[in-house]
Structure 1
Amino acid sequence: MGSGVGWTFDAMDVGLISFVIAQLAVVWGTDATTLGWVASAGFVGMAVGAAVGGLLADRIGRRQVFALTLLVYGVATGASAFAGGVAVLMVLRFVVGLGLGAELPVASTLVSEFAPPRIRGRAVVVLESFWAVGWILAAVIGYLVVPSGDDGWRWALALGALPALYSVVVRRGLPESVRFLQARGRHAEAERVVADLEASRAVGHGGLTGAQVRDAAQSPAAQGPAGLPAATSDPAVTSAPTASSTAAERLPSTGEPAPRLAALWAPALRRRTTALWVVWFTVNFAYYGAFIWLPSVLAADGHTLVRSFAYTLIITLGQLPGYAAAAVLVETWGRRRTLAAFLAGSAVAAGAFAAASGDAQIIGAGLLLSFFNLGAWGALYAVTPELYPTRMRTTGAGWAAGIGRTASVLAPLAVPQLRELGGTGLLFTVFAAVFVVAALGALALPDHTGESLT
């Protein structure tokens, strides 16, 4: 729940900028290319933040980085409300992006390391579903607050400062990952986390029990120090441990060294890293290209600003059932099949949007795109942390997200040019083709449904 609230704030911030740039086109008279740079500045920050945040989280801990990122982007979003010009807004959006980019892969890794193997994928998709809640909140704020006056966009961004306050709650109340503490040789701290969770459960506060935490960290190997499960070798990196291997051999008491980026390209990991980066790049390009510009595209096609905001709000509602379907299917179909299927569905929906003419067709195709695209996001966040061992998990997830963010930088800049060349039809045809590439990349990923993390 703690990670989910942070995820909600993330989505609200990213979603708000789509409504802000639509109003700035009217209030400031800013051209589409410049507005594209306002959106892209945040994604440049997200690309950097995702890569750096992942590395930091594998060194100093998931919780520490999670709290810091909330503080950074919350303060920067609030400051954006006072921007007096485009240049200042771009700089602040970059800082916002640093926090957002670092937070997302860290939160999904934290949840995946706490969840038991049998429900791990579903737990991560449920976390991702908070994104839909945040985007819906952004759409409500965009519909009710942004059009209220020339300074409506400022009030909307001021609401985005809430994560700065929530960072204090995270820092004080969210437990550190037991798996991370074990991998770093901090066994006493890991024991305290388990004991605290058991005590919390005993007094009726709910949450995971100590047994569930151990289940989440459980591997096929022997138990580690003080009864905590030892981390096993990743069969993709080293040979499988023998039955006679000791816990100490698997998890040195001094902790494992922090990973380097080159470790992601070890021969046994090279294929999955390549496929994962392709999927992250293409999904980011199509998603942010479509949804960041959606209110502006609808307005440019002849709808009033208020009506385009209303249509965007309706279309956004399709995200929640998409996540719900993915949460079930990742555990029954498996990660890879679910991800590929939802990406293929996204391609069909984007093609339908390209051909849509009337209002009913636009809303219908938009709802389908929300359903499939956000279901794909849920499956992608479920599969990503499972592809790497604990010592490099957030490094792998962070760099995949960082590569994806480079596409989210390019997409807002490409949209005005594509619309100029062939209108909304060409734009969404391109997105459909990109989703097809993403689906093919997903089929090349390994599937670890129901397996223990290593």
Structure 2
Amino acid sequence: MSTTPPAPGPTVPAPPAPCAPLPRSDGALGWLRVLGPRGRRAFAGAFGGYALDSYDYFTLPLSMVALAASFGLSSGQTGLITTVTLVVSAVGGAVAGVIADRFGRVRALLLTVATYAMFTVACGFAPDYGTLLVFRALQGLGFGGEWAVGAILVAEYASTRDRGRTLGAVQSAWAVGWGLAVVVYTLVFRFLDDGLAWRVMFWTGALPALLVLWVRRRVQDAPRTAERLDADGRTGSFTEIFRPGLLRTTLFAVLLSTGVQGGYYTLATWVPTYLKSERGLTVVNTGGYLTLLISGAFLGYLTGGYLTDRLGRKRNIVLFAVLSAVSILVYTHVPDGANTLLLVLGFPLGFCMSAIFSGFGSYLSELYPTAVRGTGQGFTYNTGRAVGAVFPTLVGFLADSWGVGGALVFGALGYALAVVALLGLPETRGEELR
């Protein structure tokens, strides 16, 4: 038996030096750490842009009573201003989605912010009702695209595990902008005559946009998007989202968006008028009531983002659709004189009607592949917004006979529509972006 030792085998390379551990998503802000430096800059840009989008939107509802008095408008005419804004925003959102797919998310964001800021200022110079309608419609072009594009930008940086929480945090910027608008509104209307105050509100809509434009210079598209923009292929095409593989998704996503936004914009547009015209609250008291409503909204966005990762996209929407509808019914049936109860109920109302939105950014992003993600999300979200915009106008016309409080109940029907729409959509929790 041979005792010759075996020939030595090939040299095994030494293991590589250990890399620095990847940041974990544990803890309250873990989702922010895993974004990385570029992702955090993208988050800051999207958050700031959406907060200013909200601020510019709420210059109208908060100023509606003074504006209507200045031009001698009926409730139906004031409701039409909101409807025109939201209908045109469908066009702006769809176009912004195509631009985001063809030229990048960041370029589309810059365009949307510049557009809504410029025409918000123009509204303050409107000499008559017709001109105001035109300027507000053009403002809707930018307003419609900002959220969808910003949400996609951040979704493509976010981890699969934390996408719901990350996009819920972006969504919370809406409450921040809303709150800022209420603060400015309270100050402006306290120290200026109403005939000038509503114009000043619109003029202030341009000031913060300059800062956001500067921030956007530091933001880059996610690597997957940059690589796809350099490659050949069909991108940013409306025909693609209506092909057999995506047609069902597109139709039911539009229906879902219509229901949720129909309910939301009914409340956002008419609650300030309801508090002043039917509850007899002063400007300062209205701001106090809205503070609780907005505080509830901010926490609702964050909570809904957490729950959409824990419960799933569909369960989160169903849960808060039901709670939102119940909140509307309770809020609008508070007895006269029970203003303390009305104050308390503002918090759950804001919480529920906002938490349902937290899953939208992640859910719509997960329903579409990268090449048409902007187009799909921009089209479905903003088409739903345009159709849902009919709700505020209907409330405006019904308010003449039912009162604003009675007409607000109509918004609860939108949430029922959202639940029905989910029957045609898949659950996407835990799925990688396609």
**Could you tell me how far 1:450 is from its partner in structure 2?**
2.1
Aligned residue among 88, 100, 108 for 2:151: 108
**Residue aligning to 2:242:** 265
Candidates 350, 364, 374, aligned match of 1:394: 374
Deviation at 1:288, TM superposition (A): 0.8
Task: Give the Cα separation in 2 of the matches to 1:305 and 1:94.
Answer: 30
Cα deviation for residue 167 of structure 1 reads 4.9
Question: What letter is aligned with 1:71?
Answer: A
Give the deviation of 1:300 after TM superposition: 2.1
**Aligned residue number for residue 154 of structure 1:** 199
Secondary structure of the structure 1 residue equivalent to 2:85 = helix
Q: Which string of whole-angstrom CA distances, capped at 9 and with x for unpartnered residues, describes residues 421-444 of structure 1?
A: 433453233222221221232354
Q: Given residue 335 of structure 1, which amino acid in structure 2 is its aligned partner?
A: R
Shift of 1:97: 0.8
Name the counterpart of 1:327: 305
Amino acid at match of 2:183: V
- Give the match's secondary structure for 1:14: helix
Q: Which residue of 2 aligns with 1:17?
A: 60
Say whether 1:430 aligns with 2:372: no
- Aligned match of 2:320 in 324, 329, 342? 342
1:383 maps to 363
User: Would you say the 8 A contact 2:395–2:408 is kept in 1?
Assistant: no
Partner of 1:136: 179
RMSD: 1.9
Aligned to 1:168: 213
- Report deviation, 1:415: 1.3
Distance in 2 (CA, whole Å) between partners of 1:442 and 1:407 is 17
What is aligned with 2:265?
288
Ranges in structure 1 where 5+ consecutive residues have no aligned partner: 187-253
Q: Do the aligned partners of 1:106 and 1:398 also contact (CA within 8 Å) in 2? A: yes
Q: Give the C-alpha shift of residue 113 in structure 1.
A: 0.6
* 8 Å contact kept, 1:350–1:432: yes
- Counterpart of 1:448 in 2: which secondary structure? coil
Look up the SS of the partner of 2:286 in the other structure.
helix
CA, structure 1 residues 420+31, in 2 after alignment: closer, same or farther (shift >3 Å)? closer
Q: 2:197 corresponds to which letter in structure 1? A: G
Identity %: 31
Q: What is the aligned partner in structure 1 of residue 39 from structure 2?
A: none
2:118 matched to which residue of 1?
75
The SS at the match of 1:114 is coil
User: Is the contact between residue 43 and residue 409 of structure 1 (CA under 8 Å) also seen in structure 2?
Assistant: yes
Using structure 2 for the length normalisation, give the TM-score.
0.84
Q: Which amino acid aligns with 1:447?
A: E
- Contact kept? 2:269, 2:392, Cα under 8 Å: yes
- Tell me how far 1:341 sits from its aligned partner: 0.9
Asked whether the 8 Å contact 2:165–2:302 carries over to 1, the reply is no
Once residues 95 and 49 of structure 2 are traced to their aligned partners in structure 1, the CA distance between those partners, rounded to angstroms, is 19
In 2: Cα distance, 1:273 partner to 1:400 partner: 6
What's the offset of the Cα at 1:418? 2.1
In the alignment, residue 105 of structure 2 is paired with which amino acid?
R
**Cα contact 1:101–1:402 (8 A) shared by 2:** yes
Is 1:8 aligned with 2:51?
Answer: yes
In 2, the alpha carbon distance for the partners of 1:37 and 1:424 equals 15
SS at structure 2 position matched to 1:317: helix
Unaligned 5+ runs, structure 2: 1-43
Distance in 2 (CA, whole Å) between partners of 1:356 and 1:128 is: 29
Alignment partner, residue 81 of structure 2: 38
User: Secondary structure of 2:357's match?
Assistant: helix
Q: CA deviation at 1:408?
A: 4.2
Give 1:301's aligned residue: 278
1:95 and 1:77 map into 2 onto residues whose CA distance is 9
Q: State which drifts further: 395-404 or 428-437.
A: 428-437
**C-alpha separation in 1, matches of 2:77 and 2:156:** 41
Aligned 8 A contact 1:335 1:448 in 2: yes
Deviation at 1:316, TM superposition (A): 2.0
Q: How many residues align?
A: 386
Q: Which deviates the most, 344-353 or 428-437? A: 428-437
Deviation at 1:136, TM superposition (A): 0.9
Greater radius of gyration (CA): 2
Write out the 4+ residue segments of structure 1 that deviate beyond 4 Å after TM superposition.
none
Q: Is the 8 A contact 1:350 1:429 kept in 2?
A: yes
Which residues of 2 match residues 120-269 of structure 1 at below 5 A?
A: 120-148=163-191, 149-150=193-194, 151-184=196-229, 186=230, 254-269=231-246
